[in-house]
Amino acid sequence: MSPNPFVSKPKLAIFVGYYKPHLRLFLMDMGCAFIISLIDLSFPLLSRYSLNTLIPQKAWGLFAILVGAVAAAFVLRGFLHYIVTYWGHLLGVRMETDIRRDLFVHLQKLPFSFYDKTRTGHLMSRVVSDLFEIVELAHHGPEDLFISAITLIGSFIAMTFIWWPLAAVLAVFVPVIVVFTARRRRVLATAALEVKQKTAGINANLESSISGVRETKAFANEEYEVEKFLEGNGRYRQARGSYYKAMGVFHGGMEFATSILHIIVLALGGFFVMKGKMNYADLIAFTIYVSTFLQPIKRLVSFFEQYSTGMAGFDRFVELMRVEPDIRDRPGAIDLENPRGEIELSDVSFSYNDSVRVLSGINLKVRAGMKLAIVGPSGGGKTTLCRLIPRFYEIQGGSIKIDDRDIRDLSLASLRENIGIVQQDVFLFADTIKENIRYGRLEATDEEIVAAAKRANIHEFVLSLPQGYDTYVGERGVMLSGGQKQRISIARIFLKNPPILILDEATSALDTATELAIQHSLEELMEGRTSLVIAHRLSTIRDADEIIYIDDEGIREQGTHGELLEVQGAYAALYKAQFGDLVPLA
């Protein structure tokens, strides 16, 4: 697999690389900016020529031609500004969408372990708000630097041509301004990065509070949430204050440095005029060039401010892009095609971190088409075991095979396409019922969606809704009951039609009546498939082909329901805890 370019390349090279697909647009933007600079530089010289030559000689015809040419040049300048403003910003937007595309694609590749440790609000901040400043830098940055360089050099040459002693005096102050700008830029960059971090914190808290608003109201903890938000908001205000303070020093110092140049020109220019070494036309032209000379300096001030905020956002983008997915296809990985569904775990070990080992030395064989039930106490590793089969997490030891092929030798896409998962906490997208079912197989037709809904026993309910299959389910399916959401998730799996099925306590959050109603759909779903069923209510898995009892010591018991009751071990104790003395043998 090729190395991650975001790791091997410097950040500036990565940033510049995003201009490559839009090079023609970029060159057009720079070309227009160059012509604008030339027009700005030519005006003082033409004014000086008119004052020194044309007006004293009363050359009306040539003067009229010159005025017309200047007017035409400024019409062109206005049109070029339109191109720079519109197409330049469009360049930035296209780069922004490219960056956001790369970031979102990268986020899709990152494993469960990354999302276990990263808050959604922080990711939203990087995908949305951080990129806004990046696009402003992408458009204005090169343009400001280019125009500033052309204007600074051109105006200084022109001033030297008009009166070099005065130009030499001004040149002494430029290094002072450059040093001041460079030093303050570092302070601005640090302050801008802190603002980014605090903004991400606010987004994370906001996302958490809004998502959990029902829990907040249930516990009457609205004031606590407000206080928590205000605390984060206060940290953001403090960070913004520090940033604006640094920006104020930066702007104040630059305004003083540039304003002092006007005083120097007025004082020295007046001195040279009174001495008879410089005429009024030259002084006027020189004064205009000083304004032209100061304009790129002020533009650079704006650039350095943009650079600080934009690169702070880009640094956070690159930081995220440099996170390497620890689960990926091996070189030469093959597709899992038409599997029988036999699963074998050999000496499997796994831990979420180095200090706590969840599974150790697990050996298990699940025959094709077999229904295996997995029971045990909370935290015993039931869900973890099932998450290892589709490689949501990578094992640290041993091997997991499907049809005698190590799952690490299979492509991730084909592995997961052949495994269907129904979880206790059903996630529905904020979309219609139809599109939520279609998520099981995106190319499915409407007829196939209806057929899947019928098999999940949700079709009649959907038809009773005013919009039918086009009914919007709300955020995370909040407008549906738990049983209705679970049926939609079952319909998704029917549509996907995988040979291997994992039911992770699929009905434990439902009431008994709803559970019994859904159990029939689940039984039909498991028919003919290799099924791993994590069960909390043991009444639902008595007919399993085999049951394993797993806890922090590993798989302690294995057998049918009747066999495990007869040995009077951990499974029988768990069963008795649920049903008392009414313990049937079958």
Between 300 and 105, the higher pLDDT residue: 105
The reported pLDDT for the residue numbered 585 is 44
Task: Choose from 37-41, 135-139, 254-258 the range with maximum mean pLDDT.
Answer: 37-41
C-alpha 179 chain-centroid distance:
36
Q: Quick one: pLDDT band at residue 407, thresholds 50, 70, 90?
A: very high
Q: Is the pLDDT score of 526 beyond 70? A: yes
Between 4 and 74, the higher pLDDT residue: 74
Q: Quick one: pLDDT band at residue 581, thresholds 50, 70, 90?
A: low
Question: Both tokens of residue 198?
Answer: 């605090």
Rounded Cα distance between 550 and 571, Å, is 9
Amino acid at 584: P
CB atoms within 10 A of CB 351: 16
Residue 102 Cα distances to 105, 109, 574, angstroms = 5, 11, 49
Q: Quick one: pLDDT band at residue 448, thresholds 50, 70, 90?
A: very high
The reported pLDDT for the residue numbered 70 is 85
Q: Quick one: pLDDT band at residue 215, thresholds 50, 70, 90?
A: low
Q: Is the pLDDT score of 177 beyond 90? A: no
Q: Residues 6 or more apart from 549 whose CB is under 8 A from it?
A: 375, 376, 555, 556, 557, 558, 564, 569, 570, 571, 574
Question: Domains along the chain?
Answer: 10-321 (1.20.1560.10), 334-418+542-586 (3.40.50.300)
Rounded Cα distance between 400 and 346, Å, is 6
DSSP state of 434: H
**Closest of 328, 258, 260, 326 to residue 294, by C-alpha:** 258
Amino acid at 555: I
Rounded Cα distance between 485 and 463, Å, is 15
The reported pLDDT for the residue numbered 586 is 41
**Closest of 536, 530, 548 to residue 578, by C-alpha:** 536
- Three-state SS for 368? coil
**Closest of 166, 150, 167, 142 to residue 42, by C-alpha:** 150
- Cβ atoms of 372 and 548 closer than 8 Å: yes
With pLDDT > 90 as the criterion, what percentage of the chain qualifies? 14
Q: Is the pLDDT score of 487 beyond 80? A: yes
- Cβ atoms of 469 and 385 closer than 8 Å: no
CB atoms within 10 A of CB 466: 6
DSSP state of 52: I
- Cβ atoms of 350 and 384 closer than 8 Å: yes
Q: Is the pLDDT score of 205 beyond 70? A: no
Q: Is the pLDDT score of 449 beyond 80? A: yes
> Which pTM does this prediction carry?
0.71
Between 585 and 539, the higher pLDDT residue: 539
Rounded Cα distance between 290 and 312, Å, is 33
Helix (H) / strand (E) element for 172: namely: helix 129-211
Q: Quick one: pLDDT band at residue 510, thresholds 50, 70, 90?
A: low
Q: Is the pLDDT score of 305 beyond 70? A: no
SS (H, E, C) 479-510: CCCHHHHHHHHHHHHHHHCCCEEEEECCCCCC
Mean pLDDT (the chain, rounded): 81
**Closest of 286, 285, 329, 363 to residue 50, by C-alpha:** 285
DSSP state of 427: -
Question: Both tokens of residue 67?
Answer: 């005025």
Of 509-513, 539-543, 577-581, the least confident: 509-513
pLDDT digits (tens, 9 = 90+) for 369-396: 999 999 988 888 888 899 899 998 899 8
Rounded Cα distance between 42 and 155, Å, is 9
pLDDT digits (tens, 9 = 90+) for 270-300: 777 787 777 777 777 777 777 777 777 767 7
**Closest of 344, 82, 290, 254 to residue 171, by C-alpha:** 290
- Three-state SS for 410? strand
Long-range Cβ contacts of 391-394 (<8 Å, 24+ apart)? 391/327, 391/415, 391/416, 392/111, 392/112, 392/327, 393/111, 393/112, 393/113, 393/327, 393/350, 393/352, 394/111, 394/326, 394/327
Mean pLDDT of 441-465: 89
- Cβ atoms of 111 and 95 closer than 8 Å: no
pLDDT digits (tens, 9 = 90+) for 31-88: 998 898 888 888 777 777 777 777 778 888 888 888 898 899 989 989 998 888 888 8
Q: Residues 6 or more apart from 396 whose CB is under 8 A from it?
A: 349, 350, 351
- Cβ atoms of 406 and 348 closer than 8 Å: no
The reported pLDDT for the residue numbered 472 is 86
Q: Is the pLDDT score of 247 beyond 60? A: yes
